[in-house]
């Protein structure tokens, strides 16, 4: 690639599309992250006004999105099915929004969205700058940001304002940069963000971040890799050389170790049933792999959690896979590059 090649910026604007196809085009782009709905729950208008300017920086996707009022959601099933392990860092430039947890975001504020967690937010007409960061590219940043999922980071905090200014300056400078320069600038911006994340005073006092985010993530990953085993607080304490009281504190926000394990086992089973590549595993095998002692016990728990039988979820996933596979390649595409770039990360 040429050392002087400029950063390509892709543009999408529903104004250039026939009114009857505008919502489909908008959904084709932003749908890589969220399910869309009208804020009032009414029928979705096809004539949606929205714009995206976005660039692919290799290790991250970066851009500005503008749209009229919308509701953006990711439920548990969607989180498991699309298996996207990314962090969104959003700076609101215009407009406002309210999350399901009643966090009110206004222009100048930042919002963190962990795509590995459910999300529900209603925006007014808005414009925001979004950084899409794969978790494994910069885990030391991503793990700390993940703990702030769905929370308002107020521009009244000088450090938040400082980070926001850095992101905005980067975006405004990218059109004049080569790809190499933009990559260096992005890494520098992430280094700046990491430095601020380690400082006291970045977050309000009520934000109860784990004392060791890295260790907490290691424990979570251990559980994910051993869901079929008999995991207890005593075992975790022994494995990680911690007291039981420390283990209890880590899992208190989840309702305790047992509740966390129960939820993760059910979510893992949903993931396995939703992915066609695991269709060779029968439901009983999946139940045992996820730590359940019997298929009937698993089926009852699964239905109570997801309001659907395991066999129903598997059938729906296979049907969706076949429909997507058989979609005609001649169908018109309005994507600005965003879905393809994000899935490549």
Over residues 9-46, the pLDDT tens digits come to 899 999 989 888 888 889 888 988 999 988 877 777 77
Residue range 171-182: mean pLDDT, rounded: 91
State residue 213's pLDDT score.
63
pLDDT at 208 over 50: no
Number of structural domains found in the chain:
2
Over residues 68-94, the pLDDT tens digits come to 999 999 987 788 777 788 999 999 999
The answer to whether residues 166 and 268 belong to one domain is no
Please identify which residue in the block is written with the tokens 């251990």. Answer: 222
The answer to whether residues 268 and 146 belong to one domain is no
pLDDT at 343 over 80: no
CATH number of the domain that residue 301 is part of: 1.10.10.60
The answer to whether residues 185 and 104 belong to one domain is yes
- Pick 324 or 179 by higher pLDDT: 179
Range of weakest confidence among 206-210, 291-295, 312-316: 206-210
Residue 125 DSSP one-character state: S
Range of weakest confidence among 17-31, 184-198, 211-225: 211-225
341 inside domain: no
- Burial of 216: CB neighbours in 10 Å, binned 0-12, 13-18, 19+: middle
The answer to whether residues 28 and 175 belong to one domain is yes
Residue 20: half-sphere exposure toward Cβ, Cα within 13 Å: 0
The answer to whether residues 102 and 139 belong to one domain is yes
The answer to whether residues 165 and 296 belong to one domain is no
State residue 328's pLDDT score.
44
Longest dimension (CA), the chain: 63
Domain that holds residue 156: 9-202
State residue 147's pLDDT score.
76
The answer to whether residues 193 and 229 belong to one domain is no
pLDDT at 219 over 70: yes
The answer to whether residues 158 and 13 belong to one domain is yes
Q: How far apart are CA 266 and CA 77, in angstroms?
A: 11
C-beta of residue 163 within 8 angstroms of C-beta of residue 201: no
CATH number of the domain that residue 173 is part of: 2.60.120.10
Q: Where are the alpha helices (DSSP H) in the chain?
A: 22-30, 76-82, 139-146, 158-173, 179-197, 213-225, 233-240, 244-251, 257-274, 283-289, 295-306, 310-325, 338-344
Q: How far apart are CA 262 and CA 142, in angstroms?
A: 25
pLDDT at 3 over 70: no
The answer to whether residues 286 and 139 belong to one domain is no
Please identify which residue in the block is written with the tokens 């994000």. Answer: 342
297 inside domain: yes
- Pick 213 or 160 by higher pLDDT: 160
The answer to whether residues 292 and 195 belong to one domain is no
Cα dihedral across residues 227, 230, 232, 235: positive or negative: negative
62 inside domain: yes
Share of the chain above pLDDT 70, in %: 89
State residue 57's pLDDT score.
87
The answer to whether residues 189 and 285 belong to one domain is no
155 inside domain: yes
337 inside domain: no
- Burial of 61: CB neighbours in 10 Å, binned 0-12, 13-18, 19+: buried
Which of 202, 233, 256 is the C-terminal boundary of a domain?
A: 202
86 inside domain: yes
207 inside domain: no
338 inside domain: no
The answer to whether residues 126 and 69 belong to one domain is yes
Average pLDDT, the chain: 85
Which of 178, 202, 226 is the C-terminal boundary of a domain?
A: 202
Which of 154, 180, 202 is the C-terminal boundary of a domain?
A: 202
């Amino acid at each position: 690639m040429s050392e002087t090649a400029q950063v390509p910026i892709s543009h999408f604007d529903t104004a250039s599309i026939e009114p009857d196809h505008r919502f489909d085009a908008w959904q084709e782009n932003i749908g890589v992250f969220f399910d869309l709905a009208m804020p009032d729950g009414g029928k979705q208008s096809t004539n949606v006004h929205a714009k995206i300017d976005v660039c692919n920086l290799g290790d991250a996707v970066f851009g500005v999105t503008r749209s009229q009022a919308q509701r953006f959601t990711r439920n548990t099933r969607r989180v498991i099915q699309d298996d996207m392990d990314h962090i969104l860092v959003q700076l609101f430039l215009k407009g406002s929004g309210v999350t399901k947890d009643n966090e009110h975001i206004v222009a100048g504020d930042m919002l963190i969205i962990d795509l590995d967690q459910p999300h529900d937010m209603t925006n007014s007409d808005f414009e925001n700058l979004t950084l899409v960061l794969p978790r494994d590219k910069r885990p030391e940043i991503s793990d700390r940001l993940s703990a702030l999922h769905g929370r308002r980071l107020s521009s009244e905090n000088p450090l938040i304002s400082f980070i926001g200014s850095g992101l905005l300056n980067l975006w405004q400078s990218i059109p004049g940069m080569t790809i190499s320069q933009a990559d260096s600038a992005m890494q520098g911006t992430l280094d700046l963000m990491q430095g601020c994340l380690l400082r006291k005073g970045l977050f309000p006092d009520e934000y109860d971040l784990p004392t060791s985010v890295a260790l907490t993530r290691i424990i979570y990953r251990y559980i994910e890799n051993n869901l079929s085993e008999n995991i207890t607080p005593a075992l975790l304490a022994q494995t990680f050389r911690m007291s039981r009281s420390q283990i209890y504190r880590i899992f208190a926000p989840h309702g305790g170790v047992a509740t966390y394990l129960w939820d993760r086992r059910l979510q893992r089973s949903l993931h396995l049933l939703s992915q066609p590549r695991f269709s060779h595993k029968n439901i009983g095998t999946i139940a045992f792999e996820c730590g359940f002692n019997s298929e009937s016990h698993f089926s009852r728990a699964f239905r109570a959690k997801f309001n659907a039988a395991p066999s129903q979820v598997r059938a729906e996933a296979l049907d969706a896979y076949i429909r997507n596979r058989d979609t005609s390649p001649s169908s018109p595409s309005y994507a600005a590059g965003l879905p393809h770039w994000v899935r490549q990360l």
